[in-house]
Structure 1
Amino acid sequence: MKHARKYQVQENTLMIVEDPGATYVSGSGYYDFIELSRSGVLKRALVNLSRQLSFSLAELAQVLHISERTLQRYADDAKLSADTSERAILLSRLYQRGTEVFGSLENFKEWMRTPLPAFNYQLPISLLDTTFGFQLIEDELGRIEHGIFA
């Protein structure tokens, strides 16, 4: 049963929780993310995440920097590469943070698909193909959280 536990941990790690008290990133949490990135996220966990976020396969492939076809070829219990896993974890963490700031996943998902002046009237979701885009969105979430609107 050791494998069943590991699958559950991965699926929970990439789960967006709408309870702000359930935040799983602490100082030691980063080591867990590093280990998970290195060992590889299961495709099953990634598919669950994409459903939660309402991401199409094309959108997910763009964020993860892999082709749609490559993503389709993975078996559900296959592990993704370290780079792909890391980007999946970044995506999950960003949406967790957005859920905390906006109070619900649905509100944050709507915000991510709205052209905003803070992002040159681009959709925030369109910035997720670079780590700079992730950081830009994180920074904006911090401003919103503190009542500083651009």
Structure 2
Amino acid sequence: MTTASLESPFVSAVTLLGGEGVLHAQPRVVMDWIPLVRQGLPSACVDAVVRITGITQTELAHALAIPERTLARRKREGALSPEESAKLVRFVRVVARAETVFEDANSALNWLQSPNASVGGVTPLSLLDTEIGADSVLDTLGRIEHGVFA
């Protein structure tokens, strides 16, 4: 995947994370995300993702492989750890990519939450807790976008 192919979904990722007001930054290219992830994203990003996507905090916690109690603690502390931040960015990148492919947020979320034979009969959302699972979902989205049987 080239840097150019990541720029467009990251624009939507900013929105999914609550925008510049929550991030206190306006990342425009992949490299802009590295210092944000390393310092830890504001915990308000979790609330933004829940609000904007309509998924529950429980579903988000499962998709990120972060215990709900840890997310609650991070909200009190004000920031996610770098590892948790990387997981959240991975999650919003996939959601943003699905929205681009399906050209509709509701259709994208329905697809992410529905069992799919192309990803082993599980929900794409359930695979986002690992990098390889997220890559598989992104690959499937690419095949859908290009009209290849997915």
User: Per the shorter chain, which TM-score range?
Assistant: 0.7 to 0.9
Unmatched 5+ stretches in structure 2: 1-11, 18-25
User: Kindly tell me: are residues 103 and 128 of structure 1, through their superposed partners in 2, closer, same or farther at Cα, counting changes over 3 Å?
Assistant: same
Cross-structure match for 1:119: 119
Further displaced range: 109-118 or 45-54:
45-54
Unmatched 5+ stretches in structure 1: 1-11, 18-23
Cross-structure match for 1:79: 79
TM-score by length of 2: 0.78
User: Kindly tell me: are residues 79 and 39 of structure 1, through their superposed partners in 2, closer, same or farther at Cα, counting changes over 3 Å?
Assistant: same
Structure with the larger RCO, 1 or 2 (CA within 8 Å, 6+ apart): 1
Deviation at 1:25, TM superposition (A): 8.0
TM-score by length of 1: 0.78
Cross-structure match for 2:144: 144
Larger radius of gyration: 1
Query: What does the per-residue CA deviation read over 1:21-71, in whole Å, with 9 as the maximum and x for residues that have no partner?
Result: xxx986xx1111111100111111221112222222222222333211121
User: Kindly tell me: are residues 44 and 76 of structure 1, through their superposed partners in 2, closer, same or farther at Cα, counting changes over 3 Å?
Assistant: farther
RMSD: 2.2
Whether 1:66 and 2:66 are equivalent positions in the alignment is: yes
Cross-structure match for 2:95: 95
User: Kindly tell me: are residues 25 and 140 of structure 1, through their superposed partners in 2, closer, same or farther at Cα, counting changes over 3 Å?
Assistant: farther
